[in-house]
Amino acid sequence: MRTRDLPTYYRTWTAQDDDGGTSTGQLERTPTGELLLRLGCTRQYEFPLTAEDTATLATALRAATAVTLGPLSVAPAPQGVTLTATLPAETWPLHLSPEQCTALAGHLNAITSADTQL
């Protein structure tokens, strides 16, 4: 991979799946400025976001309020929120604690900042 192909911003974040295991997701800003939220480590669950989407998602995570952004949705849960990706053939819910919500919201806010780098 050439250096110019590397993302200009990249962070991982964690959540729990329905089995109680830890799932690691990724948040990336590409060199072309595309914002991507990836659930797990597969591109099957890669979702492009607009700057407005990232702000809306960050606000919903911090306040534990419901929001739907295309195939992604956030719903309040007893211990944080549930972030769900809905694909034609399946649904993948991930559960985030309040601490995980705060961390992911911070990354979502930072990804749109022009001065944020790796």
Q: How many domains does the chain have?
A: 1
Q: Is residue 116 part of a domain?
A: no
Q: Is residue 42 part of a domain?
A: yes
pTM: predicted TM-score of the whole model, two decimal places: 0.86
**What are the CA-CA distances from residue 42 to residues 23, 26, 45, 60, 106 (Å)?**
12, 10, 6, 24, 23
Confirm if 35 and 112 have CB atoms less than 8 A apart: yes
The pLDDT tens digits for 97-116 are: 999 999 999 999 988 875 55
The pLDDT tens digits for 40-89 are: 776 668 899 999 999 999 999 999 999 999 999 999 999 999 999 998 88
Q: Is residue 18 part of a domain?
A: yes
Q: Is residue 68 part of a domain?
A: yes
Q: Is residue 70 part of a domain?
A: yes
Q: What is the pLDDT of residue 118?
A: 46
The type of residue at 111 is: I
Q: Is residue 13 part of a domain?
A: yes
The pLDDT tens digits for 4-44 are: 566 778 899 999 998 889 999 999 998 888 899 998 776 66
Q: Which two tokens stand for residue 86?
A: 């809905």
Q: What is the pLDDT of residue 35?
A: 92
Q: Is residue 106 part of a domain?
A: yes
Which residue segment(s) compose the domain that 72 sits in? 3-111
Q: Is residue 117 part of a domain?
A: no
